[in-house]
Homo-oligomer: A and B are copies of this chain.
Amino acid sequence: MAGRVLIVGDQAGGRILLMSRLAAARCQVVGTPTYGEALAEAGAKAPDLVVLDVAPPAGAAVGLCRALRAELGAVPVLALARAPGAALRQAVLTAGADDVLDRDCGDALLHARVRALMRARSEDADLMLREDTRDALGFAEPAAAFEAPGVIGLVAARAETAQAWRAALAPHLRDRIEVLAPTDPFRAGPAGARPDVFVIETDLPRPEDGLALVSELRSGPAGRKARIIALAPEGAEAAAAAALDLGADDAVAGAVEPLELVLRIRAQLRGKARADRLRRQISDGLRLAVTDPLTGLFNRRYAMSALARIAEAAAASGRSFAVMVIDLDRFKAVNDRHGHAAGDAVLVEAARRIAGALRAQDLVARLGGEEFLAVMPETGVAEAEAAAERLRRAICQAPFRVPGAAEPLALTTSIGVAVGGPAGAGGAGGAEGAAGASGAPAETTGLVEQADRALYAAKARGRNRVSLVRSAA
């Protein structure tokens, strides 16, 4: 897998043994620091995974684990300890380790655990954007603000087992805990919510049933982004390893105390919430790419591609459609006299009035500056003229209250309208400059240019009026 692993241990023999065991899993060991050197090495070597050899007394390793967690961000930490008891396991997990394994476990489990942590790391890296893009979009590392309670689904061979888990977990978790039927774990719970974390017995009742369930969850829309904790019987390391390789996020072979299970569930809930936030940021970022940040209207890029689609639909349906270019009159004077903040407030209010004067199916965009575009599907000349007139009145009939101006400001608007359609005369203009740069086909940019010329005619005729290109109807 060629992932970069940092092996941390205070005993040379332990480090050397781990080096050879991890090399067999084709890991790239990038360093083998002692406890004292670990933090500096972790910062310098940018590992994908830290493997921490826990030597007694455990206090030093637990403290180091906490420090590594703070230093490493989302890089996973795997702790190995000799026959770790319940107290040590909980201490290490609480300190931020992703898992604690018995140092004497077989290579199959160790390798599968390392692979699963590497896989999680790669998925995380996929979701993280390039740093500059992230910063620019105001993302940075997503804040772990208030998290809504999650949903935990328990799947055990016998209903009594799952009920007992629930009784033991409930006092420690504020999340909803649901017992799911092993035959039908995909059915959403009573409230329709799908589990964020599944806890699954691997023996359900046959050994391979739980593993098949892990594969099924990973393959389908219902469980692909859920987290999975697989619980295998005492000594069933092969089943735990298989669960990890099939896509489980966490797996334990042997009895797990309720408090340890609580820690493991909480870690998976945190990881899931973080991944959900990162995915949300990506889709928010993409939405920003089509929005004018000041007014919240669509931007020119979106408008031009939407216009092309509306023109195509019109050609298919045989109905005409209207394009309006809307320009606030003498807007520059607002900026010059009252400052940019006042000008921006006027634009925001004008956007609100324009959108309010049109129908839900109409498209409204800000082309830039004080210029707006409206596209009205399935609209003829008379309707378009009436809408433009409504729009003109919406701007001039009440003054704009803005910060920095003692009195509300009286504003007017000039509007150019062109109507296109299957037989429309929209294809006249060339498509140079901005319109051409937007990638919209010549017919639609031609229509915008016609509306633009009509707008200039309205301005020339004294402003605060609508001008219509009749030839295009």
Contact A221 B122 (CB under 8 A): yes
A309 within 8 A of B: yes
Taking CB atoms, residues of chain B closer than 8 Å to A332 are 332
Q: Identify the A interface with B (CB < 8 A).
A: 1-3, 25-26, 48, 111-112, 115-116, 118-119, 122, 125, 129-130, 133, 135-138, 184, 186, 212, 215-224, 245-246, 282-283, 285-290, 293-294, 298-302, 305-306, 309, 332, 336, 339-342, 344-345, 368-369, 403, 432-435, 437-439, 452, 456
Contact B369 A136 (CB under 8 A): no
CA distance A216 to B309 in the complex (A): 45
CB distance from A242 to the nearest CB of B (A): 9
Taking CB atoms, residues of chain B closer than 8 Å to A368 are 368-369
Contact A288 B301 (CB under 8 A): yes
Closest 6 interchain pairs by CB? A1-B220, A341-B433, A115-B219, A289-B289, A119-B219, A344-B433
Interface of A is mostly: helix
Residue among A222, A305, A403 with max Cβ neighbours from chain B (10 Å): A305
Contact B438 A293 (CB under 8 A): yes
Contact A341 B438 (CB under 8 A): no
Question: Quick one: given A122-B224, A433-B345, are A1 and B293 in contact (CB under 8 Å)?
Answer: no
Query: Could you write out 10 A-B pairs with CB less than 8 Å apart?
Result: A2-B221, A116-B219, A125-B221, A133-B287, A135-B309, A136-B289, A136-B298, A293-B299, A340-B434, A368-B368
Contact A294 B122 (CB under 8 A): no
Contact B118 A219 (CB under 8 A): yes
Contact A3 B219 (CB under 8 A): yes
Contact B245 A122 (CB under 8 A): no
Taking CB atoms, residues of chain B closer than 8 Å to A216 are 1, 25-26, 115
Contacting residue for A282 out of B219, B286, B342, CB 8 A: B286
Contact B290 A137 (CB under 8 A): yes
Taking CB atoms, residues of chain B closer than 8 Å to A433 are 340-342, 344-345, 403
Contact B305 A439 (CB under 8 A): no
Contact A245 B309 (CB under 8 A): no
Contact B305 A301 (CB under 8 A): no
